[in-house]
Amino acid sequence: MNNAVPNRTAPRPARLGTVRTVVYTNPRSLLTPASGFIKAYKFSLNPYGGCGFGCEYCYARFFAPTPEASDSWGEWVRVKENAAALVVEATREPSERLRLCPGDPVYMSSVTDPYQPIESRLGLTRGILEALIPVQPRLVIQTRSPVATRDIDLFQQFDRIRVNLSVPTDSEAVRLRYEPHAPSIRARLKAAETLTRAGVPVGISISPMLGMDDASAFGRRIAGLDAAEYVVTGFHRPGPRFAAGTPVSALEKARADGWNRARYDEAVALIQEALGTHPLLKGNEGYAPPK
Ligand code: SF4
């Protein structure tokens, strides 16, 4: 997450999910050399800091710039308003390690959602896509939001792209317990359908998998989407103090719901059975850049 000093703040516009404070920044760089579960990428690209979906299980809060910002995850968003210009600058970067070149794998986004509520107003992610088209990186977009379908006309101009929709459960009741401000499961699946019909490769990320009502039926539903990729992950177990992991509150909620390893494994097996010959990728193997 970028630590640039905010240069102005704005009152909270309506309909920003959980966000109370919007801060506009002009950071010096946008693309971060990738590591960890996305180490197969050259860069991660986060148009925003913070996220107005405010999911309870979000590990990204551990990358917030201060402990206070981590504690108030979901209540603030930093808008990197010069993001599109920074993409162009990155193509001229003298250092090869930092230069954005055609074919470079880029992951958008690792610690925010590029289509979180404020994106509908600002079009910041859309501007970044416009700047990326002449470069033609191998792009993966990770989102929970059907707002991504707004940019189908731009996705279609990339030779190698995948839009990953995060769909962690089949149950609206479960979703409302863990991510009440994110779009409905139905809307996400419909967005996946719209994207595939438009010829945009889609990934279905069951991540992190939450309690399921009917894993077999869910598996059949997503099999019908004919996605380019299916991936499942569990919670990130908490590491040492301050290390990124699933917040304790989410783990406790899952425990109270009886969502445990045995039920997770059973759901994975049922979904794989429903997917037939489509592999249900596990963890990192599901986040490879498009070839
Ligand atoms: S949408 Fe992603 S980045 Fe945003 S709060 Fe949820 S898990 Fe975190």
Report the side by side order of strands in the sheet with 31-33: 31-33, 43-45, 105-108, 138-143, 161-166, 202-206, 229-232, 280-282
Query: Who contacts 10 (Cβ-Cβ below 8 Å, separation ≥6)?
Result: 22, 23, 24
pLDDT value, residue 199: 98
DSSP strand pairing (138-143 vs 105-108): parallel
pLDDT value, residue 244: 65
Q: Is 233 in the pocket of ligand 1 (CB under 6 A)?
A: no
Token couple for 209 = 């998998």
Which residue has a Cα nearest atom 6 of ligand 1?
A: 55
**Between vectors from CA 15 to CA 154 and to CA 246, what angle results, nearest 5°?**
80
CA distances from 66 to 62, 109, 185, 199 (A): 9, 20, 32, 41
Whether pLDDT at 272 is above 60: yes
Whether the CB-CB separation of 25 and 65 falls below 8 Å is answered with: no
Whether pLDDT at 178 is above 60: yes
Atom of ligand 1 minimally distant from the CA of 59: 8
At residue 108 the predicted structure's pLDDT band, cuts being 50, 70 and 90, is: very high
Q: Which residue has the higher pLDDT, 162 or 10?
A: 162
Instruction: Classify 129 in phi/psi space as left (phi over 0), alpha (psi -120 to 50) or beta.
Output: alpha
Average pLDDT over residues 13-41: 88
Q: 54-63, 147-156, 220-229 — which is least confidently predicted?
A: 54-63
pLDDT value, residue 4: 39
From 46, 108, 144, the mutation candidate for ligand 1 (largest count of ligand atoms within 8 A of CB) is 144
Boundaries of every domain in the chain:
8-283
Whether the CB-CB separation of 89 and 75 falls below 8 Å is answered with: no
Which residue intervals of the chain are DSSP H helices?
67-71, 83-90, 119-122, 124-132, 152-155, 172-178, 185-197, 215-223, 248-256, 261-275
CA distances from 89 to 94, 98, 161, 166 (A): 10, 10, 22, 31
At residue 249 the predicted structure's pLDDT band, cuts being 50, 70 and 90, is: confident
Per-residue pLDDT of 235-244, as tens digits, reads 877 655 545 6
pLDDT value, residue 243: 56
pLDDT value, residue 8: 54
At residue 73 the predicted structure's pLDDT band, cuts being 50, 70 and 90, is: very high
Rounded Cα–Cα distance for residues 60 and 70 (Å): 9
pLDDT value, residue 6: 41
Atom of ligand 1 minimally distant from the CA of 142: 2
pLDDT value, residue 9: 54
pLDDT value, residue 10: 53
Rounded Cα–Cα distance for residues 193 and 190 (Å): 5
Span from the CA of 51 to the centroid of ligand 1 (angstroms): 6
Which residue has a Cα nearest atom 7 of ligand 1?
A: 58
pLDDT value, residue 238: 62
From 1, 16, 37, 58, the mutation candidate for ligand 1 (largest count of ligand atoms within 8 A of CB) is 58
- The one-letter amino acid code at 141 reads I
Supply the CATH classification number for the domain 8-283: 3.20.20.70
Q: Is 47 in the pocket of ligand 1 (CB under 6 A)?
A: no
- The one-letter amino acid code at 125 reads T
Whether the CB-CB separation of 150 and 126 falls below 8 Å is answered with: yes
Whether the CB-CB separation of 118 and 22 falls below 8 Å is answered with: yes
Per-residue pLDDT of 276-288, as tens digits, reads 999 999 988 888 9
Query: Who contacts 100 (Cβ-Cβ below 8 Å, separation ≥6)?
Result: 31, 43, 87, 90, 91, 93, 106, 135, 137
Where are any strands of DSSP class E within the chain?
A: 8-10, 21-25, 31-33, 43-45, 48-49, 76-80, 105-108, 138-143, 161-166, 202-206, 229-232, 280-282
Q: Which residue has the higher pLDDT, 13 or 221?
A: 221
Average pLDDT over residues 35-54: 95
pLDDT value, residue 5: 38
Q: 15-29, 68-82, 136-150, 217-231 — which is least confidently predicted?
A: 15-29
pLDDT value, residue 14: 52
